[in-house]
Structure 1
Amino acid sequence: MMANKSDLRRQALDLAPALVALRRELHEYPELSHEESETASRIARELDRLAIRYRSDVGGHGVVAELTGSQPGPIIALRADMDALPIQEETEIAFPSKRPGVMHACGHDAHTAMLIGAAELLSACREQLQGTVRLLFQPAEEVNAGAAAMIGDGALDGVSEIYGLHNLPNLPAGMAATRYGALMGSVDRIEITLEGRGGHGAIPDQSVDPIVCASAIIQSLQSVISREVSPFDPVVVTIGSIHAGEANNVIPHYCRMTGTVRTFHPDVQDKLPERIERIVQNIAEGYRCQAALHYIRQTPVLMNHEEQVKFVESVIDDTIGSQHRITAQPTLAGEDFSIYLNDVPGCFFWLGSGPEEHAEQAYGLHHPKYWLNEDCLPYGASLLATIARTRLAQLAGGPL
């Protein structure tokens, strides 16, 4: 007889100590994007223990594993990311990062542990699975490169639907949040190079100052938001770095800037490159500089699919209770899970990972004092396992 939702929930609670231990081990030894070789090896050891077959080096250091049931059916994919951030940890936990300047400040260590937990739960009932569950352990999410690389190496081949989650420290552990349609923003990168004419800072009339030009461009880029996009369409244009010159009395020859562009609607994302190019070039001409804009499309808007959101909500309600589910607020933070959702239907949702009280005051994702309530681990494992098992049964038309 197939394990029901409450059985998986109880089994996940039994796994909690092992999931906590694995998460803490991963937290102590974080690896940056494109460097996740040790993490991948650790995942492989867990999969070997569970006798689950897998492929390594998918899309870089990614791992793709499969549990195939005894009955034919579709393929459902579950995804967890596994890279860390270039952040110096400032927490007071007993198991901080042992690698200076690198930290799991986004909880990908927890996501990996949850997916291993889901794998163990599904492995215990694999004979009753009506199809195949594909587990995607993805590298390089933080640099928006891993999903596309995984897809390029066949991670989505034959997949009918895909599901994933992200922890949210501003939501108490034991809670979940879902949203229909757009959940997270698109992510694009801009790189601007300005060429002036260097010279002595005391003789500016004999030079062409790219720094003054850069300041005008930075200010004017905000007019894209205030005057060229509907106030009902959220857009963010942020210049995050500017580099020019080495001396206080020298006008530099070059100024280089990088920034990020975020939108919440695909049509708006499509229109912004031309508008930003026009502003950069026209202002540069007015300041007698030469300008080059490199506009890099990274990830689309994360658009959840209606049928799959409705299904995930039913699983959440049956597993942890409808009183523990809320509607997620939209955010312009990006997630390359959106690339999977461009190819196959699916749903991405938030899982609470904050303290039981005053979670709204918790340090957020990417903060050096980010903290994760490990009570969320069995919730994540049981929800992922239940989503995969139940959806396979639904799509195959068999008993739940």
Structure 2
Amino acid sequence: MRLSSFVHAGKQIEAELIAFRRELHRYPELSLQESETAAKVAQRLGELGIDFRSRVGGNGIVAELTGEQPGPVIALRADMDALPIHEESGLEFASTRPGIMHACGHDAHTAILLGAAELLADKKIKGTVRFLFQAAEEINAGAKAMVEQGALEGVDEIYGLHNLPTLSAGLAATRYGSLMGSVDRIEIHLEGRGGHGAIPDQSVDPVVCAANIIMALQSIVSREVSPFDPVVVTIGSIKSGEANNVIPHYADMTGTIRTFDAKIQKQMPERIERIVKQIAAGHKCQAELKYIGQTPVLINDEECNRHVEQVIDQMIGSERRVEAPPTLAGEDFSVYLQHVPGCFFWLGSGPAVDASSAYGLHHPKYRLNEDCIPLGAALLAAVAQQRLAVNEHTV
């Protein structure tokens, strides 16, 4: 089959995919609350005659398209949840739910995967394509739950994409090896002794302790890790006290740890705990640290990445494919890649001209260039169909 036919077929269903995406955009749902979104996906799968099961890993859906002859099982994945962000895009189909927005484009991902299912539904395939509509990606919980409930059973390879508004629509970006960083969460509770702000010698100040911990944590990046190993330690929230003239008895902090190497990720808990506990002791505070591992480094399989690049080159031309720079942003697609080989790539969703100036992911003014939707559907469909064709004699 000529891959250009997928592009043509994708354009034919563009209007319906965009309409579906806009419906999801108007009514976004947060992680673990995606019941309405899942119901709309289920309805569309039913209309396509594709078998599925619901409530997998929360509100996730696992659908399956099986060919007349046995063969490999290729999985395609999209995420469905929105973010706790108040939309400021000005779109006529903007979110109707205050404080909730599809600011990461998961509404488009869902429409794209439905489009891929529709494009493959009338094709003769040898093997099986499994479609994973995943909940709770934004809180790094959905992929783990899907795997625990059997979403990857029998799967040989998995593929997925993410839109990128700082890359022009019509382009795609791939990368061999590590593409995205690991994600871990830290929660620090410091207990001091409160008192009057004018009499600090009769108190144990957890705020001063917190300030020193924040600064010292950065020494991990600058002095304990090689400058050739990217690491980020960010404290994102601090809560302590209520009045300007009172030394509080506690301070709470939360943060995120990002690495680009599995070995470095494993070393971080000890480093964080050592600094937190010893600095707290030096300030006469009691410290409690919770180090919560969330997602591993996202590492693409070499052969699967090569396959995606070949499909992109044949469909839209190698000049439309660029090398993706590494990022310490995280994606729980990495959890799937710990179990089966696969590839995750970027799909341009920005303006045709000067996409670098576009509002990025998670921004309240984020906008998605909907030209990317039919192309994304065509690419995912072609990736699965071609991979089945390559592997049909090896099963």
SS of the residue corresponding to residue 291 of structure 1 reads: strand
1:15 matched residue in structure 2: 13
Q: Deviations over 1:107-147 (max 9, x none)?
A: 0000000000000000011xx11100000000000000000
2:386 matched residue in structure 1: 390
1:303 matched residue in structure 2: 299
Report the residue type matching 1:41 in the other structure. A
Measure the CA separation in 1 of the matches of 2:10 and 2:221: 46
- Which residue among 310, 313, 329 is the counterpart of 1:314? 310
Q: Deviations over 1:155-209 (max 9, x none)?
A: 0000000000000001110100000000000000000000001111111111100
Measure the CA separation in 2 of the matches of 1:118 and 1:171: 22
1:72 matched residue in structure 2: 70
Measure the CA separation in 2 of the matches of 1:244 and 1:53: 52
SS of the residue corresponding to residue 190 of structure 1 reads: strand
SS of the residue corresponding to residue 147 of structure 2 reads: helix
Measure the CA separation in 2 of the matches of 1:290 and 1:215: 15
Report the residue type matching 1:188 in the other structure. D
Within a 5 Å distance, the mapping from 1:178-217 to structure 2 comes to 178-217=174-213
1:150 deviation in Å? 0.3
Q: Deviations over 1:259-294 (max 9, x none)?
A: 000000111111111011000011001100000110
Q: Deviations over 1:44-90 (max 9, x none)?
A: 01001001010000000000000000111010000000000000000
- Which residue among 340, 348, 354 is the counterpart of 2:344? 348
1:31 deviation in Å? 0.3
Measure the CA separation in 2 of the matches of 1:344 and 1:146: 17
Measure the CA separation in 2 of the matches of 1:71 and 1:195: 64
1:130 aligns with 2:126: yes
1:268 matched residue in structure 2: 264
2:86 matched residue in structure 1: 88
Report the residue type matching 1:374 in the other structure. E
1:227 matched residue in structure 2: 223
Q: Deviations over 1:206-244 (max 9, x none)?
A: 110001100000000000000000000000000000001
Report the residue type matching 1:368 in the other structure. P
Q: Deviations over 1:17-44 (max 9, x none)?
A: 0011000000000000000000000000
SS of the residue corresponding to residue 193 of structure 2 reads: coil
Report the residue type matching 1:259 in the other structure. G
1:397 deviation in Å? 2.6
Measure the CA separation in 1 of the matches of 2:393 and 2:84: 46
Quote the sequence identity (%): 68
* Aligned pairs, number: 394
1:246 deviation in Å? 1.3
2:113 matched residue in structure 1: 115
2:97 matched residue in structure 1: 99
1:5 deviation in Å? 1.2
SS of the residue corresponding to residue 343 of structure 1 reads: coil
Measure the CA separation in 2 of the matches of 1:145 and 1:235: 22
1:5 matched residue in structure 2: 3
Measure the CA separation in 1 of the matches of 2:62 and 2:268: 36
Measure the CA separation in 1 of the matches of 2:35 and 2:84: 17
User: 5+ unaligned residues in a row in structure 1: which ranges?
Assistant: none
Within a 5 Å distance, the mapping from 1:321-360 to structure 2 comes to 321-360=317-356
Measure the CA separation in 1 of the matches of 2:252 and 2:165: 35
Measure the CA separation in 2 of the matches of 1:311 and 1:20: 27
TM-score (norm 1): 0.98
- Which residue among 210, 235, 239 is the counterpart of 2:235? 239
SS of the residue corresponding to residue 13 of structure 2 reads: helix
1:393 deviation in Å? 1.2
Measure the CA separation in 2 of the matches of 1:170 and 1:253: 45
Report the residue type matching 1:83 in the other structure. D
1:96 deviation in Å? 0.4
Q: Over aligned residue pairs, what C-alpha RMSD do you find?
A: 0.8
Report the residue type matching 1:280 in the other structure. V
2:246 matched residue in structure 1: 250
Report the residue type matching 2:209 in the other structure. C
1:162 matched residue in structure 2: 158
1:4 deviation in Å? 2.9
User: 5+ unaligned residues in a row in structure 2: which ranges?
Assistant: none
Report the residue type matching 2:100 in the other structure. V
Measure the CA separation in 1 of the matches of 2:306 and 2:393: 18
TM-score (norm 2): 0.99
